[in-house]
Amino acid sequence: MATIRAVDIKGGTGPVSALFINSETPKPVPTGSQALVKVKAFGLNRMDLLQREGRYPVPPQAPKTLGVEFSGTIESFGSEPERGFNVGDEVFGLAYGGAYAEYIAVSTHMLVHKPKELSWEEAAGIPETWITATQALYVVGGFVPGKSVLWHAGASSVSIAGIQLAKADNASAIYVTASSREKIEFCKSLGATEGFSYKDGDWAQELLKYTDGKGVDFIIDFVGANYFNQNLDVAARDGHIVNLGLMGGAVVKGDVDIGRFLFKRIRYEGSTLRSRDEEYQGRLRDTLVEHALPRFVDGTFKVVIDKVFKWEDIQEAHELLESSKTMGKLICTID
């Protein structure tokens, strides 16, 4: 059996120190609509930290190897690949798992041809973050030009993408929350109107004051319980809150006035990406290609990369991601 090198976890789950490169990993074999891609670079995401610790519900079709986004070249195909791809094509894409490796078997329905204008590192930083932002803002959120948007965790990769998407589609205002003024100014450089620090007071009251009490039309939230009440406070009439994560917990403590749902006609909706079926993810890929790819090519959209690591330094990369000090993507490259 052919083997490859892949990032593995001693004991199956564990801390950063449990990560290592296993040279005895079975080489994946593409089947059906899959392609075998030789990986050049892969992106890190917060879900990787949770999966490493055994606290993430991994889809049943996912391999045990971490990683959902990558760039590389096609080496071979399964029996029924999507038309338009050939051996040797430079691509990037989204997978259910397995990207922290020299090779990955992935559906061709989730591959995108890499434009020459993008580096391997930039291409590897697009799939998970930009597809998640596209899904949250348009498919789930139903955003239309002329409305305002609030992106929580403003300096996170998804919100960095979302700020640019909202700006390109003429949002009336783009707000963010972040931990520091430095991160807020960084978000404003990308197109955010204003930001509010959750460490310097009540961000919700500051936002309401800034908007003269009107609030925000669309809220994209990764925090969950800790922001539940404040999101209801700042949601505008007919506002839509899209919840994508539970960084602040899943259980809301204390009394909650649900009258705000009624009187402000608020819609609160949760969504996921990784657990979605291939057909749904494929439609999101098509939306990304049609809506965003030309803007990457002409430079309107930027893939903001905080730091690039050699994949041998995967422990250091995970430590930096855990620190929550990043502003942009962390990428690992494979020589």
Structure confidence by residue, pLDDT tens digits, 35-83: 999 999 999 999 999 999 999 989 888 999 999 999 999 999 999 999 9
With residue 329 as reference, give the H or E element that holds it.
Answer: strand 329-333
By percentage, how much of the chain surpasses pLDDT 90? 91
In this structure, what token pair is assigned to residue 272?
Answer: 């996921």
Q: Is 174 helix (H, G, I), strand (E, B) or coil?
A: strand
The CB-side HSE value for 24 (13 A sphere, CA atoms) comes to 1
Q: Where are the beta strands (DSSP E) in 27-170?
A: 34-43, 69-77, 90-94, 103-107, 111-113, 148-151
Q: How many CB atoms lie within 10 A of CB 238?
A: 11
Please report, as a single letter, which amino acid is at residue 332.
Answer: C
pLDDT single digits (tens) 193-252: 999 999 988 999 999 999 999 999 999 999 999 999 999 999 999 999 999 998 899 999
Burial category of 266 from C-beta neighbours within 10 Å (exposed 0-12, middle 13-18, buried 19 and up): buried
Measure the CA–CA gap between 66 and 9, rounded to whole angstroms.
Answer: 9
pLDDT single digits (tens) 90-142: 999 999 999 999 999 999 999 999 999 999 999 999 999 999 999 999 999 99
| Residue 278 pLDDT > 90 | no
Question: Quick one: pLDDT at residue 201?
Answer: 87
- Right CATH number for 130-270 from 3.30.950.10, 3.40.50.1000, 3.40.50.720, 3.20.20.300? 3.40.50.720
Whole-prediction pTM value?
0.93
In this structure, what token pair is assigned to residue 12?
Answer: 């199956």
Measure the CA–CA gap between 192 and 160, rounded to whole angstroms.
Answer: 9
Delimit the domains of the chain by residue range. 3-126+277-333, 130-270
Q: For residue 227, give every residue at least 6 positions away whose Cβ sits within 8 Å of its Cβ, in sequence order, or none.
A: 152, 221, 248
Contact 161, 192 (CB under 8 A): no
Contact 200, 179 (CB under 8 A): no
Residues belonging to the chain: 335
Measure the CA–CA gap between 208 and 216, rounded to whole angstroms.
Answer: 9
With residue 25 as reference, give the H or E element that holds it.
Answer: strand 19-26
CATH homologous superfamily of 3-126+277-333: Medium-chain alcohol dehydrogenases, catalytic domain (3.90.180.10)
Please report, as a single letter, which amino acid is at residue 122.
Answer: E
Burial category of 155 from C-beta neighbours within 10 Å (exposed 0-12, middle 13-18, buried 19 and up): buried
Contact 305, 125 (CB under 8 A): yes
In this structure, what token pair is assigned to residue 156?
Answer: 């996170």
Contact 51, 34 (CB under 8 A): no
